[in-house]
C-alpha cells in the first residue's frame, strides 16, 4: 500500500493489470466515468469487460511491456505473477503501482462509503443495498463482486454522495477504506492462508469496525456469533450499532425479520422494530440466508434516513447477482422440467445456505444434483470435511478436484477429502477430478424433475451452461431460459 492514498483524478493515466476481474473491471469503469484515461490488459476475455468496451476503454489481450504505454499509474490484480512484463516495465520506469484496494479507495474519495463486510454474503448484500438505495432515490456509486442483474454491470458512477462497496477481508483490503457506515454479516474463519489463525482473522474485523467514521455506524447480524460479539465490543466502546436478526428476539436485535414465508421462487417477510411494523418485503430470491442479507441492507438504509417503503420496493425488485444462486436456464421435457443453477459458494456455511435454498426450489419427486469444486488447497485442507458434510443435503453429489488458484498444488490435498466426507451412500457420491469428465457424469445422473446446481469459486461455473446446452440438444420440447 502507498503511504498516501490519492483520489482517482490525481493518478494521471491509469493502466489496469488484470482488468477482466470482478474487482479491477469495476474500478476501471468508475475511473473512466469520472474522466480518467484508462487502459487495461488481461489474459482472459471475461464478461466484466463488456461494460468497459461500451464506454470505449481500450483492453489488450495478454500482457506485454508496451501495453503500459504512457501510463502514470498501474493498478495490479493480486493474481499477477512476479514476472508479469507490465509490472516489470512499470518498476523499471518508476511508475506508481497500486493494489486493488488502493484503486478502490481512489474512486471512493469524496463520497460517504457504505461497506459490506463478512465471511460470506457480501456480494448479494452489496447488490441488495445498491438496488434499494437506487429505488429510494439516493443514486449511489457502487462496486460489487458480481454482475448486478438489474443493471448488467458490476460497478458504476452515481450522482449521489453515497458509495456502496463490497469490503473484501481476504487480503485486508477493507482496512484501508474510509468508511462512513458498514454492514457486518458474519465472521467465520476463512482465508487462513493469509491470516494464519481464526483469532487473527476475527481481529481484522474489529480493526475494520474501529475505522468507521465517528459520525457513522455499523449494522451487525446478531444471528451470527462472530458478528454479535463484534456488536457488543463496538457498543461497549461507545460506538453506534444497529443490530438485526431473524432468530434473535427483540431484546437482542433492533430490527427483525418475522413471518418468513416461501412463495414460489422467493421469500416474503415483515420487518419490525420492537412491536412496530416498518415494512413488508417480498424477495424474488429463495433462501433464509438472503432474508438476513436483505434485512441488513434495509436497516442501513433506514438508519441513513431513507424511506422504508421505497427501500422495501427496491429489495423486492432485486433479481439476483451473477453466480449467486443464478438461474442458468430450464429445459422442459414431456415428463418434467430440469432446472440448472450456478453459485459461487465455496465455504461450508455458504454451501449449507445455497443447498437449503435449492432444496426449496426442487419440485415434488425431483432431486437435487450438486457438482462442487473445492477452492484453494489451504481452504480444502482446513474445511474439506465440513464441505463434504454440507453437501450431504443433496441427493447426488459430484466433486471435482481442487481449484488451486494462487497456491501451489499439494498431492495430499484433493477433492477426495471432500467427497469422502459426504454423508450419502457411496453410489451417490462421485469424485471426478477432471472438469471435462464431470459433464458426462452429470448428464448420466440427471432426470426430469431434477435441479442441477454447480458450486464453487473456480471454473466449475463453465459447467452449468454446458449441462443446459447438452440437455436442450437431447430433450425436444419447450425450452425456456431463466438466466
For the whole prediction, is pTM greater than 0.95? no
Per-residue pLDDT of the chain (483 residues; tens, 9 = 90+): 677 788 999 999 999 999 998 889 999 999 999 999 999 999 988 888 988 999 999 999 999 999 999 999 999 998 888 899 999 999 999 999 999 889 999 999 999 999 999 988 888 899 999 999 999 999 999 998 777 777 778 899 999 999 999 988 777 778 888 999 999 999 987 767 777 798 998 999 999 999 999 999 999 999 999 999 999 999 999 999 999 999 888 899 999 999 998 776 789 999 999 989 999 999 988 778 889 999 999 999 999 999 999 999 999 998 766 666 788 889 988 778 899 999 888 888 889 888 988 888 887 789 999 999 998 888 898 889 999 999 999 999 999 999 987 778 888 899 999 999 999 999 999 999 988 899 999 999 999 999 999 999 888 888 999 999 999 887 654 443 443
Is 285:267 a contact under the CB 8 Å cutoff?
A: yes
Is 443:340 a contact under the CB 8 Å cutoff?
A: no
HSE of 72, CA atoms in CB hemisphere, 13 A: 10
Is 48:147 a contact under the CB 8 Å cutoff?
A: yes
**Which residue segments constitute the domains of the chain, with CATH numbers given?**
10-101 (3.40.50.720), 110-317 (3.40.1190.10), 326-480 (3.90.190.20)
Q: 251 Cβ partners below 8 Å, 6+ apart?
A: none
Question: Which is the catalytic residue, given 73, 119, 123, 149?
Answer: 123
User: Is 166 one of the catalytic residues?
Assistant: yes
Helix axes 122-135, 288-303, angle to 10 degrees: 50
Question: Which is the catalytic residue, given 166, 169, 188, 350?
Answer: 166
Q: Which DSSP letter does residue 6 get?
A: P
Count of CB atoms situated within 10 Å of the CB of 93: 12
* pLDDT of the residue at 86: 97
Question: Which is the catalytic residue, given 39, 73, 77, 122?
Answer: 122
The closest alpha carbon to 362, from 451, 468, 480, belongs to 451
HSE of 114, CA atoms in CB hemisphere, 13 A: 27
Q: Which DSSP letter does residue 97 get?
A: E
Is 464:443 a contact under the CB 8 Å cutoff?
A: no
User: Is 332 one of the catalytic residues?
Assistant: no
Per the listing, cell 418468513 goes with 260
Is 373:400 a contact under the CB 8 Å cutoff?
A: yes
Amino acid at each position: 500500500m502507498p503511504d498516501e492514498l490519492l483520489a482517482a483524478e490525481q493518478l494521471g493515466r491509469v493502466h489496469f493489470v488484470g482488468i477482466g476481474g470482478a474487482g479491477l473491471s469495476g474500478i476501471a469503469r468508475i475511473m473512466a466515468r469520472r474522466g480518467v484515461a484508462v487502459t487495461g490488459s488481461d489474459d482472459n476475455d471475461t464478461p466484466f469487460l463488456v461494460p468497459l468496451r461500451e464506454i470505449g476503454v481500450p483492453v489488450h489481450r495478454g500482457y506485454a511491456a508496451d501495453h503500459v504505454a504512457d501510463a502514470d499509474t498501474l493498478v495490479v490484480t493480486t493474481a499477477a505473477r512476479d514476472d508479469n512484463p507490465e509490472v516489470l516495465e512499470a518498476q523499471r520506469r518508476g511508475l506508481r503501482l497500486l493494489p486493488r484496494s488502493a484503486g478502490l479507495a481512489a474512486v471512493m474519495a469524496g463520497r460517504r462509503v457504505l461497506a459490506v463486510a463478512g465471511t460470506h454474503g457480501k456480494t448479494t448484500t452489496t447488490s441488495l443495498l445498491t438496488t434499494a438505495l437506487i429505488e429510494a432515490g439516493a443514486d449511489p456509486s457502487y462496486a460489487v463482486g458480481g454482475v448486478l442483474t438489474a443493471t448488467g454491470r458490476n460497478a458504476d458512477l452515481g450522482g449521489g454522495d453515497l458509495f456502496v462497496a463490497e469490503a473484501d477481508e481476504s487480503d485486508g483490503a477493507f482496512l484501508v477504506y474510509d468508511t462512513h457506515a458498514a454492514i457486518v454479516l458474519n465472521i467465520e474463519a476463512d482465508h487462513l492462508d493469509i491470516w494464519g489463525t481464526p483469532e487473527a482473522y476475527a481481529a481484522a474485523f474489529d480493526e475494520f469496525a474501529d475505522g468507521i467514521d465517528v459520525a457513522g455506524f455499523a449494522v451487525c447480524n446478531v444471528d451470527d456469533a462472530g458478528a454479535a460479539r463484534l456488536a457488543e465490543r463496538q457498543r461497549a466502546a461507545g460506538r453506534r450499532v444497529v443490530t438485526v436478526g431473524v432468530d434473535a428476539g427483540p431484546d437482542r436485535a433492533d430490527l427483525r425479520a418475522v413471518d418468513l414465508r416461501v412463495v414460489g421462487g422467493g421469500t416474503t417477510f415483515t420487518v419490525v422494530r420492537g412491536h412496530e411494523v416498518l415494512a413488508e418485503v417480498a424477495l424474488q430470491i429463495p433462501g433464509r440466508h438472503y432474508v438476513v442479507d436483505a434485512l441488513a441492507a434495509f436497516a442501513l438504509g433506514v438508519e441513513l434516513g431513507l424511506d422504508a417503503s421505497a427501500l422495501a420496493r427496491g429489495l423486492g425488485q432485486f433479481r439476483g447477482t451473477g453466480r449467486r444462486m443464478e438461474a442458468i436456464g430450464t429445459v422442459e421435457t414431456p415428463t418434467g422440467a430440469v432446472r440448472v443453477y450456478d453459485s459461487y459458494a465455496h465455504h461450508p456455511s455458504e454451501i449449507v445456505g445455497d443447498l437449503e435454498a435449492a432444496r426449496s426450489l426442487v419440485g415434488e419427486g425431483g432431486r437435487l444434483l450438486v457438482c462442487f469444486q473445492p477452492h484453494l488447497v489451504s481452504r480444502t485442507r482446513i474445511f474439506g470435511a465440513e464441505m463434504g458434510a454440507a453437501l450431504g443435503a443433496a441427493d447426488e453429489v459430484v466433486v471435482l478436484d481442487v481449484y488451486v488458484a494462487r497456491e501451489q498444488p499439494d498431492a495430499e490435498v484433493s477433492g477426495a477429502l471432500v467427497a469422502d466426507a459426504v454423508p450419502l451412500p457411496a453410489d451417490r457420491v462421485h469424485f471426478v477430478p477432471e472438469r471435462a469428465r464431470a459433464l458426462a457424469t452429470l448428464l448420466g445422473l440427471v432426470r426430469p424433475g431434477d435441479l442441477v446446481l454447480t458450486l464453487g469459486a473456480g471454473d466449475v461455473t463453465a459447467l452449468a451452461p454446458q449441462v443446459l446446452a447438452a440437455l436442450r440438444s437431447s430433450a425436444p420440447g419447450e425450452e425456456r431460459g431463466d438466466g
